[in-house]
Amino acid sequence: MTIPTRAPAPAPALIPVQVRAQAAAVRAAYALPRPLRRLIAGAPVRRDGQRLALDAQLLLSLQRISGNHLVRPAGVAASRVGLDHGRHLVSGPVIEPVATREIRIPVEYGELPATLYTPDGLAAPSGLLVFFHGGGWVLGTRTSHDNTARFLARHAGVRVLSVEYRLAPEHVFPAAVDDALAAFDHAHAEAADLGVDPDRIAVGGDSAGGNLAAVTAQLAVRRGGPAPAFQLLFYPAVDASRHRPSRELFADGFLLTSAHMDWFADHYAPEGVDRSDPRLSPLLTPDLTGLPPAYIATAGFDPLRDEGEAYAERLREAGVVVALSRQPDLIHGYINYLGIGRRFREATAEAAGALRLALSPNA
């Protein structure tokens, strides 16, 4: 069932005055001459043979000054509000012209909300990206990733279906997995209504959303029948069973911390959950043959970097076509920072180009 309407977004008047003031300060900081931006950001940061981009370092410095941290001490509700407010600082003006349409996906417990984004002038049938937002399975919404979905739709020349899957701790593992697979199945079954080619449907997402996309691809392939044509995975979380070197190298100071990752995992996969379950840790799936081609992006200064790259290597060993793109100078979450600087947009545009190519009618 579809309901023609605009995607939900807070009116500017509803944005707290303090948040609007912080957003203006962030824009002003990024408009400064480079020497002044460097002065605010501090001396260049080098680690593991990489140099942090000035755009990323300035963001981290402004975050420390403002106190806008990813996870708030007050708990889940406060962290969700903080993320919603934070998006106004970094996502930029709404990307237009992109039409939106509200979708209701039937599931056993009722309906799963989603938003369909269609860039202006895109003919039907087109390719489609079924997109799962990041946020550690605890935070994030379609609204928090609204401009990201718009950017990918416009720059890849595809429709994007952004899914409001259930979050923890209200709904623990594997609720989000069930919703993600249901969303892909609905997109395939209702392709004509959505204006898409059922043979050109990709799954994708960032961080926890990348996890859900990877798991959806695996489950769809293993059961037989409809499966995604492509995977677009941004710094995916793919192994909750162990720590790799990047988890220690970038444990603190680069937005997503090791402590944050524990906090997210404890909410989504609490005591009693087997964290080696491939539906939580898709890197541990014994057989990865037959999966769709993938573009996997990692960020150099990210605790998740090494597991994402390990997943790319395992896919290659299984004969899957993989493009691994490490953005060595960036931090976790970069596809959400499209309104500040240029480096974040450059990296996200590269991924959009890969998606465009993969879902081209002649691919």
Q: Which residues are catalytic?
A: 207, 302, 332
Distance separating alpha carbons of residues 34 and 54, to the nearest angstrom: 9
Measured in degrees and rounded to the nearest 5, phi and psi for residue 105 equal -95, 120
CB 348 within 8 A of CB 223: no
Distance separating alpha carbons of residues 201 and 152, to the nearest angstrom: 14
Distance separating alpha carbons of residues 156 and 321, to the nearest angstrom: 19
Cα 337 to the chain's mean position, in Å? 11
In this structure, the dihedral spanned by the alpha carbons of residues 302, 308, 309 and 312, taken in order and rounded to 10 degrees, is -160
Measured in degrees and rounded to the nearest 5, phi and psi for residue 100 equal -125, 155
Cα 316 to the chain's mean position, in Å? 22
Distance separating alpha carbons of residues 105 and 114, to the nearest angstrom: 7
Task: Name the DSSP class of 293.
Answer: P
The two counts, helices (H) then strands (E), for the chain are 12, 11
How many residues are given for the chain?
A: 363
